[in-house]
Homo-oligomer: A and B are copies of this chain.
Amino acid sequence: VPSTDELVSSILRGSRLALAQSLTLVENDEPNGYAILNQLFPYTGRAHLIGVTGAPGTGKSSIVNQLALQYSQRMEGSPARRVAIIAVDPSSPFTGGAFLGDRIRMRDLAGNPNVFIRSMASRGSLGGLAAGTSGLVQVFDAAGYDVIMIETVGAGQAEVDIARLAHTTLVIESPGLGDDIQAIKAGILEIADLLVINKADYPGVENTERALRANLELATNGQVATTNGQVVEGSGTTAWLPTILRTIATEGAGITELMQEIERHQQHLLQSGEWQRRERERLHIELENLLRETLVARWRATLPAASYQEVLSDLVSRRISHHQAVELLLERKEG
């Protein structure tokens, strides 16, 4: 077993094996994992973190795969980039299983030296999920990955929390989903930097775009970028208005345009000072998550199991309420 120092220096030299081993230590909350994060942290802060979220069935994985493929073999004067994919699956806490899409993903990307794929199964708590994602991001960032894509299934709180950790958030839609999905969009739209209508060859794409545009107008007080005019000047500052793009990921259509938009967004972030603001916000949230986890774990370690069970029994028999149970437990710990 290599030491922490050995793992860290191997990662910094570009070893995929050391990277994989370290990701596992970090994901499993091993003490060695903390030590690795401590040593790698000064090397972080360079990667472009891209969150990819949206409802099931929209083809998120295909888009992520296409982006990874194209980033990793960039032509046209710009160099190939190193791409990490973190696929977070918050929907399967029981099976702890990986994506079904992983098999398709492996077929397209396996053996590509510039792409590293990591699936992350759900943990017990959401704080844990977001905190775990942050740890993996730090490792990839320090290891020199230029682009880190964080893909989540679904459109719930977990996805929103994880999207908050990204610089650029892509929300993927597709034609033909039901009406009450509109209610979802109201929330998710507010975190979207780019809106992608995938499966743009499906019937109903016009309706989907119209509905998205109407929702966006609500969310941005009537300002929506129709073409490439998404950076608007107003009251001395520049603001980013989400653009709507169409893709057919299975055929690779629209992916080049999507990459250009992602780059435009990155430029906007850097020039407006928003990049630094998001960095600070992200580190703040990560600190909060870790604080919370640590605080609860340490408190629990000092609590005798017997007194916990006793209090729980009193709760179940309704001799005491939840709040009274909490008071008892917190008092006992201090005494």
Instruction: List residues of chain A with CB under 8 Å of any chain B CB.
Output: 34, 37-38, 41-42, 44-45, 55-61, 89-95, 97, 99-101, 122, 125-127, 129, 134, 153-160, 174, 176-184, 186-188, 190-191, 279-280, 283-284, 286-287, 290-292, 294-296, 298-299, 311-312, 315-316, 318, 321-326, 329-330
Asked, given contacts A38-B324, A316-B280, whether A296 binds B287 with beta carbons under 8 Å apart, the answer is no
> Across the interface, do A155 and B91 meet the contact criterion of CB distance under 8 Å?
yes
Complexed CA–CA distance, A158 and B90 (Å): 9
Closest 5 CB pairs of A and B: A57-B178, A92-B187, A156-B156, A100-B183, A41-B321
Contact of A154 among B37, B184, B299 (CB under 8 A): B184
Closest residue of chain B to A174 (Cβ to Cβ) is B178
Q: Find out whether the CB atom of A186 lies under 8 angstroms from the CB atom of B95.
A: yes
Copies in the complex: 2
Interface pair B323/A34, CB less than 8 Å apart: yes
B59, B127, B179, B284: which contacts A125 (Cβ < 8 A)?
Answer: B127
Chain B proximity of A147: nearest CB distance (Å): 20
Expressed in whole angstroms, the minimum distance between the Cβ of A195 and any Cβ of chain B is 16
Chain B residues with CB under 8 A of A181: 56-57
A314 to chain B, nearest CB (A): 10
A187 and B59 alpha carbons, distance in the complex (Å): 19
Interface pair A291/B41, CB less than 8 Å apart: no
Q: Main SS of chain A's interface residues? A: helix
CB-based nearest B residue for A98: B183
The answer to whether A37 touches B316, judged by C-beta atoms less than 8 angstroms apart, is: no
Chain B residue contacts of A129, Cβ below 8 A: 157
Question: Could you say which of B159, B179, B296 contacts A292, with CB atoms under 8 Å apart?
Answer: B296
Q: Which residues of the other chain, B, contact A283 by a CB distance below 8 angstroms?
A: 312, 315-316, 322
In the complex, chain B residues whose CB is within 8 Å of the CB of A156? 90-91, 153-159
Cβ contact of A295, chosen from B91, B158, B299, cutoff 8 A: B299
In contact, B157 and A122 (Cβ under 8 angstroms): yes
Measured CB to CB, the closest approach of chain B to A272, in angstroms, equals 18
Separation in Å of the A18 CB from the closest CB of chain B?
Answer: 19
A315 → B minimal CB distance (Å): 5
Q: Is the CB of B61 within 8 A of A99?
A: no
A199 nearest in chain B by CB position: B178
A41 to B92, CA, bound (A): 32
CA distance A110 to B117 in the complex (A): 51
Please determine whether A183 and B55 come into contact, CB atoms closer than 8 angstroms.
Answer: no
- Give Cα A211–Cα B68 distance, bound, in whole angstroms: 30
